[in-house]
Amino acid sequence: MSDIKLKIIDREGVLHEVDAPTDMNMNLMEVVRSYELAPEGTIGICGGMAMCASCQCYVLSDHQLPEKSDDEEAMLSEAFFVKDNSRLGCQIHMTDDLDGLEVELAPAED
Amino acid sequence: MIKTDILIIGAGPTGLFAVFEAGLLQLKCHLIDALPQPGGQCSEIYPKKPIYDIPGFPEVLAGELVDNLMEQIKPFQPGFTLGERAETIDKLEDGTFVVTTNKGTKHHAPVVAIAGGLGSFEPRKPILDNLAKYEEDGVAYMIKEPEIYRGKKVLLAGGGDSALDWSIFLADVADQVTLVHRRNEFRGALDSVEKVQHLKNEGKINLMTPSEVVALHGEDMLEKVTVQNVDTLEETEVEVDHFIPLFGLSPKLGPIADWGLEIEKNAIKVNNSYDYQTNVPGIYAIGDVNTYPGKLKLILCGFHEATLMCQSAYQRIFPDKKYVMKYTTVGGVTGFDGSKKEAPKAVVKSID
């Protein structure tokens, strides 16, 4: 069992420091859901297929993240509130080198 | 007025399978869905994605699963009200329900099963200040009657199939077609992308990429929009009669949230795993739309919930009838269309 530490700012602006396992095949969207940092039904709506943008977040730290896939790129191009540092949480898998990652959840679309 | 035994709201996999279980009990079903086709998310969002956790199917495409369910329930002749959203519910004095859609279609049933998944799919609207002001006069999120665009100046936004396909279609109808997308790349059928390229070269489609619409203008009706290039931030004003943002659909619980049902975590609360009835007797919630301790939003769990719901619905409709659950291996499947499927009888013959 290995954990990394993440800093997540929720949609109300509250900072949460959480532990995320790297051995459970989890992504950032699922970590947010597991800690219930955003209400159920407002995040991860498509289940993690990069087919909605409900898990959009802004990456605040300068961690080297994997390149966006074509699906993620295309989804972000149609999402709202997109910034240069936007990513889909469901496409960011928890790995050891993400220890200390800081992200802020993008606003819900409605 | 459409009359049925179980009125199912939502034609996703859970709603479709409920038709089968109801049919085994000789109960008729009718389904309402806001989408124009059955299958829910499986058809609308990910028809080509493989699913690996349907019991008995090591791998099945979501679209195939829907096709199979439609085939499985065919003998039970379900009715469909598609492309309409269930809007209101009224409980009559005899305890039965009337559900009316946004188009005014009325449905009457003693039992209502909400299998609404994440809700009904509504168009995603861009975030623009005075968007709502023009919704009657110039802004539309789907194209219902293409003829109203004849001879008009139309601006579409979006990078998927519907934006591409409608741009191609309207190039022949409208006076001027502009397609705005935030990237240079489009996500659509190769054929459509090539066709738009061709029409752009011919000057029939004015392509603006990588750009987005940032403002709408017009006294009463929409008159022009401001398009901003996302790289250079340069702004261009385009005169338009119509602005059609096509950013796909997103699910909303919608009017069901106002039906007096207990809602928790954007889902309908049901009595834990007994029969999935809500706080209103006669209204059930099955599949992804419900919540109870231990809930998992899985298709296979929806199938189970649909099955228990049907047993309870039967007892509600026929409180005095004696009934025991029968296996399909024993009872076979007798359709309302007169069809009968059953296990072939074993040959009984002595061997000399």
**Block mean pLDDT (10 aa), chain B, length 352:** 98 98 97 95 90 97 98 98 96 96 97 94 88 90 90 95 94 96 88 94 95 94 95 95 91 91 92 89 96 94 97 95 88 93 84 86
Interface mutation target, options B42, B52, B118, B246, chain A, most CBs of A under 10 Å: B118
- Residue A96 within any structural domain of the chain: yes
Residue B276 and residue B290: Cα distance in Å, rounded?
8
Q: What is the per-residue pLDDT for B94?
A: 94
Say whether pTM exceeds 0.90. Answer: no
- Residue B19 within any structural domain of the chain: yes
Could you tell me if B155 and B211 lie in one domain? yes
Could you tell me if B241 and B254 lie in one domain? no
Q: Domain boundary at B192, B226, B247, which?
A: B247
- Domain total in chain B: 2
Among partner residues B187, B250, B267, which is closest to A52 by beta-carbon distance?
Answer: B250
- Residue B188 within any structural domain of the chain: yes
Q: What is the per-residue pLDDT for A1?
A: 55
Residue B180 and residue B160: Cα distance in Å, rounded?
11
Could you tell me if B243 and B258 lie in one domain? no
Could you tell me if B75 and B184 lie in one domain? no
Largest CA distance in chain A: 38
- Residue B105 within any structural domain of the chain: yes
Domain holding B330: CATH number? 3.50.50.60
Residue B77 and residue B335: Cα distance in Å, rounded?
8
How far is C-alpha A20 from the geometric centre of its chain's CA atoms? 12
Annotated ligand binding at B94? The verdict is no
Facing residues of A99 across strands? none
- Residue B71 within any structural domain of the chain: yes
Q: Domain boundary at B247, B276, B304, which?
A: B247
Could you tell me if B177 and B36 lie in one domain? no
Could you tell me if B254 and B117 lie in one domain? yes
- Residue A19 within any structural domain of the chain: yes
Identify the domain containing residue B220 by its residue range.
Answer: 132-247
Could you tell me if B207 and B106 lie in one domain? no
Chain A residues lying within 8 Å of B266, measured CB to CB? 39-42
B227: left (phi over 0), alpha (psi -120 to 50) or beta: beta
Q: Domain boundary at B247, B272, B299, which?
A: B247
Binding-face residues of A in 59-78 toward B, CB within 8 A: 70, 73-74, 77-78
Q: What is the per-residue pLDDT for B352?
A: 84
A21-57 pLDDT tens trace: 999 899 999 999 999 999 988 899 888 988 889 999 9
Q: What is the per-residue pLDDT for A51?
A: 85
User: Which secondary structure element, helix H or strand E, spans residue B199, and what is its range?
Assistant: helix B190-201
Annotated ligand binding at B41? The verdict is yes
Identify the residue whose tokens are 């709506």. A45
Domain holding A97: CATH number? 3.10.20.30
Residue B198, number of CB atoms within 10 A of its CB: 13
Could you tell me if B309 and B209 lie in one domain? no
- Residue B8 within any structural domain of the chain: yes
Within B47-153, residue ranges assigned H as helices are: 62-73
- Residue B350 within any structural domain of the chain: no
- Residue A110 within any structural domain of the chain: no
* Residue A92 Cα, gap to closest chain B Cα (Å): 20
Residue B117 and residue B34: Cα distance in Å, rounded?
12
Could you tell me if B243 and B139 lie in one domain? yes
- Residue B127 within any structural domain of the chain: no
- Domain total in chain A: 1
Evaluate the omega torsion of the peptide bond into residue B146 and state whether it is cis, within 30 degrees of 0: no
Residue B166 and residue A40: Cα distance in Å, rounded?
35
The beta strand positions in chain A, using DSSP E, are: 3-9, 15-21, 56-59, 86-88, 102-105
Could you tell me if B202 and B294 lie in one domain? no
Amino acid occupying residue B168:
I
* Residue B323 Cα, gap to closest chain A Cα (Å): 38
Q: Which residues contact A54 (CB under 8 A, 6 or more apart)?
A: A42, A43, A44, A45, A46, A108, A109
- Residue B347 within any structural domain of the chain: no
Residue B347 and residue B326: Cα distance in Å, rounded?
23
Among partner residues B46, B183, B266, which is closest to A51 by beta-carbon distance?
Answer: B46
Q: What is the per-residue pLDDT for B217?
A: 95
Could you tell me if B93 and B151 lie in one domain? no
Query: N- to C-terminal Cα distance for chain A?
Result: 38
Identify the domain containing residue A91 by its residue range.
Answer: 3-105
